[in-house]
Amino acid sequence: MRAADQRELVVVGASLAGLRAAQALRERGFTGALTLVGDEPHPPYDRPPLSKRVLTTPGRPDRTELPVPNGLRARWRLGRAAVRLDLAARAVTLADGTRLPYDGLVVATGSTARGWPAGKPPAPAGVVTLRGWDDALALRAALTAGGPLVVVGAGFLGGEIAAAARERGLDVTLVEAVSQPLEGSLGPVAGAYVAALHREAGIVLRTGTTVEGFVTGPDGRLAGVHLGDGTTVPAGTAVLAWGGVPSTGWLAGSGLALDGGVHCDPLLRVLRTDGSAVPDVVAAGDVARVPQPLAGGERLALGHWTNAVEQGTAAAATLLAGQSPDGTPAPFAAVPSFWSDLHGARIRSVGLPGVADETRVVEHDLTGRRLEIAYHRAGRLVGALTIGRTGRLASYRRALEEHLASGPAPDEPGPA
Partner 1 sequence: MQITVDMNLCESHGQCVFAAPEIFSFDDDDRLVHEASPPDALLDKAEKAAAVCPARAVTVSPASPPAAP
- Residues 190-249 interacting with partner 1 (rule: CB under 8 A): none
Residue 402 CA to residue 409 CA, distance in Å, equals: 12
Residue (264 or 335) nearer to partner 1, CB: 335
Shortest distance in whole angstroms from residue 348 CB to partner 1: 6
Stretch that binds partner 1, among 141-149, 186-194, 247-255, 302-310 (CB under 8 A): 302-310
Helix/strand/coil for 22: helix
Stretch that binds partner 1, among 166-174, 211-219, 271-279, 303-311 (CB under 8 A): 303-311
- By CB under 8 A, the count of residues binding partner 1 is 20
Q: Which of 80, 346, 364, 376 lies at the binding interface for partner 1 (CB under 8 A)?
A: 346
Stretch that binds partner 1, among 98-106, 176-184, 217-225, 338-346 (CB under 8 A): 338-346
Residue 194 CA to residue 177 CA, distance in Å, equals: 15
**Residue 160 touching partner 1 (CB under 8 A):** no
**Residue 89 touching partner 1 (CB under 8 A):** no
Shortest distance in whole angstroms from residue 305 CB to partner 1: 5
Check if the beta carbon of residue 356 is closer than 8 Å to that of residue 385: no
Q: Which of 305, 324, 364, 408 lies at the binding interface for partner 1 (CB under 8 A)?
A: 305
**Residue 67 touching partner 1 (CB under 8 A):** yes
Work out the number of other CB atoms within 10 angstroms of the CB of residue 367.
6
Shortest distance in whole angstroms from residue 326 CB to partner 1: 15
Residue 152: name the closest of 193, 119, 117 by CA. Answer: 117
Backbone φ/ψ region at 354: left (φ over 0), alpha (ψ -120 to 50), beta: alpha
**Residue 48 touching partner 1 (CB under 8 A):** yes
**Residue 348 touching partner 1 (CB under 8 A):** yes
Check if the beta carbon of residue 288 is closer than 8 Å to that of residue 109: no
**Amino acid (1-letter code) at residue 320:** L
Residue 106 CA to residue 219 CA, distance in Å, equals: 46
**Residue 389 touching partner 1 (CB under 8 A):** yes
**Residue 362 touching partner 1 (CB under 8 A):** no
Burial of 252 (0-12, 13-18, 19+ CB in 10 A): exposed
Shortest distance in whole angstroms from residue 398 CB to partner 1: 8
Check if the beta carbon of residue 234 is closer than 8 Å to that of residue 223: yes
Buried b (16+ CB within 10 A) or exposed e, 8-42: bbbbbbbbbbbbbbbbbbbebebebbbbbbbbbeb
Site string for partner 1, 307-326 (x = CB under 8 A): --x-----------------
Binding site for partner 1 (CB under 8 A): 46, 48, 67, 305-306, 309, 335, 337, 339, 341, 346, 348, 350, 388-391, 393-394, 397
